[in-house]
Amino acid sequence: MKNLLSMNDLHPEEINRILQRAEEFEHNATPNLTRTFTVANLFFEPSTRTKMSFEMAERKLGLHVLPFEASTSSTQKGETLYDTVKTLESIGVDAVIIRHEEDGYYHQLSSGIDLGIINGGDGSGQHPTQSLLDLYTIKQEFGKFDSLEVAIVGDIAHSRVAKSNAQALTKLGANVTFLCPKEWQGDIQAESSWDQILPKADVIMLLRVQHERHESAKGFSKNEYHEQYGLTIERYKQLKPAAIIMHPAPVNRDVEIASELVESEKSRIFKQMHNGVFIRMAILESVLKERF
User: Which is nearest to 31 in space by CA: 20, 41, 21, 43?
Assistant: 21
> Which of 21, 139, 163, 208 is the binder for ligand NCD (CB under 6 A)?
208
| Size, binding site for ligand NCD by CB under 6 A | 11
Instruction: Tell whether residue 163 is a contact of ligand NCD (CB under 6 A).
Output: no
**Region 40-69 residues binding ligand NCD, contact defined as CB under 6 A:** 49-50
Instruction: Tell whether residue 125 is a contact of ligand NCD (CB under 6 A).
Output: no
Instruction: Tell whether residue 139 is a contact of ligand NCD (CB under 6 A).
Output: no
Active site residue 289: no
Residue 40 forms beta bridges with which residues?
Answer: 66, 96
Q: Coil, helix or strand for 231? A: strand
Residues with Cβ within 8 Å of 259's Cβ and at least 6 positions away in sequence, in order, are 253
Residues with Cβ within 8 Å of 100's Cβ and at least 6 positions away in sequence, in order, are 42, 44, 45, 81, 121, 122, 123
Instruction: Tell whether residue 121 is a contact of ligand NCD (CB under 6 A).
Output: yes
Instruction: Tell whether residue 174 is a contact of ligand NCD (CB under 6 A).
Output: no
CB of 145 to ligand NCD, least distance (A): 21
Residue 243 forms beta bridges with which residues?
Answer: none
> Terminal CA-to-CA distance of the chain, rounded, Å?
12
Residue among 10 and 37 whose Cβ is closer to ligand NCD: 10
Q: Which residue in the shown chain puts its C-beta closest to ligand NCD?
A: 208
Q: Which of 2, 17, 38, 49 is catalytic?
A: 49
**Region 227-266 residues binding ligand NCD, contact defined as CB under 6 A:** 248-249
Active site residue 35: no
Q: Which of 11, 27, 77, 182 is catalytic?
A: 77
CB atoms closer than 10 angstroms to residue 179: 23
Q: Which of 99, 160, 163, 208 is catalytic?
A: 99
Instruction: Tell whether residue 100 is a contact of ligand NCD (CB under 6 A).
Output: no
Active site residue 213: no
Residues with Cβ within 8 Å of 153's Cβ and at least 6 positions away in sequence, in order, are 178, 179, 180, 197, 204, 205, 206, 207, 229, 231, 256
| Peptide bond between residue 250 and the one before it cis (omega within 30 degrees of 0) | yes
Active site residue 247: no
Residue among 230 and 248 whose Cβ is closer to ligand NCD: 248
Active site residue 100: no
Query: 160-171 and 12-26 are packed helices; what angle lies between their axes, rounded to 10 degrees?
Result: 110
Q: Coil, helix or strand for 117? A: strand
Instruction: Tell whether residue 164 is a contact of ligand NCD (CB under 6 A).
Output: no
Instruction: State the residues that interact with ligand NCD by CB under 6 A.
Output: 49-50, 121, 127, 130, 160-161, 208, 210, 248-249
Show which residues are catalytic.
Answer: 49-50, 77, 99, 127
